[in-house]
Amino acid sequence: MAHYIIRVGGHLAARWSVWLAGMELRHEADGTTTLSGALPDQSALFGVLTKIRDLNLPLLAVERAGETTVDECYGGRQ
């Protein structure tokens, strides 16, 4: 799995995390939200980006931050 960091304009409520593939949401002081988390493939990334578009949020950045192991994603549970 690849770990992604996505930055959008505006602050998202924490409840959106589940809808956005369980990505962690962090509010930044500059009025943006950083989403981070592991996604299994590019189609999952595209799904998250489509949802961001559907929410009419400005997409500011997308960064692939590296690979994530199964243990890191699921805390050792499979």
Residue 57, exposed/middle/buried by CB under 10 A (0-12, 13-18, 19+)? Answer: middle
Looking at the chain, how many residues does it have? 78
Which of residues 51 and 78 earns the better pLDDT score? Answer: 51
Domains and CATH numbers, the chain: 2-74 (3.30.70)
> Does the pLDDT at position 78 exceed 50?
no
Quick check: 37 and 30 in contact, CB under 8 A? Answer: no
pLDDT at 49: 98
SS3 category, 20: coil
**Three-state SS at 45:** helix
Say how far apart CA 77 and CA 51 lie, in whole Å.
28
- Main-chain dihedrals φ then ψ at residue 20, nearest 5 degrees: -100, 50
Q: What is the pLDDT of residues 25-72, one digit of tens each?
A: 999 999 999 999 999 999 999 999 999 999 999 999 999 998 865 555
Q: What is the pTM of this model?
A: 0.84
